[in-house]
Chain A
Amino acid sequence: QQQVKQSPQSLIVQKGGIPIINCAYENTAFDYFPWYQQFPGKGPALLIAIRPDVSEKKEGRFTISFNKSAKQFSLHIMDSQPGDSATYFCAASYTGTASKLTFGTGTRLQVTL
Chain B
Amino acid sequence: KAGVTQTPRYLIKTRGQQVTLSCSPISGHRSVSWYQQTPGQGLQFLFEYFSETQRNKGNFPGRFSGRQFSNSRSEMNVSTLELGDSALYLCASTQLRTSGTGELFFGEGSRLTVL
A residues in contact (CB < 8 Å) with B = 31-32, 34, 36, 41-46, 49, 89, 91, 93-106
Contacts and interface: CB of A to CB of B under 8 A. Distances in A.
28 contacts: A32-B101, A36-B106, A41-B108, A43-B4, A43-B92, A44-B43, A44-B90, A44-B104, A44-B106, A46-B103, A46-B104, A89-B43, A95-B99, A95-B101, A98-B31, A98-B98, A98-B100, A99-B31, A99-B45, A99-B55, A99-B92, A100-B45, A100-B48, A100-B58, A101-B43, A101-B104, A103-B43, A106-B43
A32 B100 CA distance: 10
Interface string B48-86: 100000011010000000000000000000000000000
Interface residues of B, number: 27
The main secondary structure of chain A at its interface with chain B is loop
B45 A102 contact: yes
Contacts of B98: 98
Contacts of B108: 41-43
Interface of B: 4, 31, 33, 42-45, 48, 55-56, 58, 90, 92, 94, 96, 98-109
A41 B90 CA distance: 11
A98 B31 CA distance: 9
A99 B106 contact: no
Given A43-B109, A44-B106, A100-B33, A106 B42 contact: yes
A50 to B, nearest CB: 11
Nearest to A101: B45
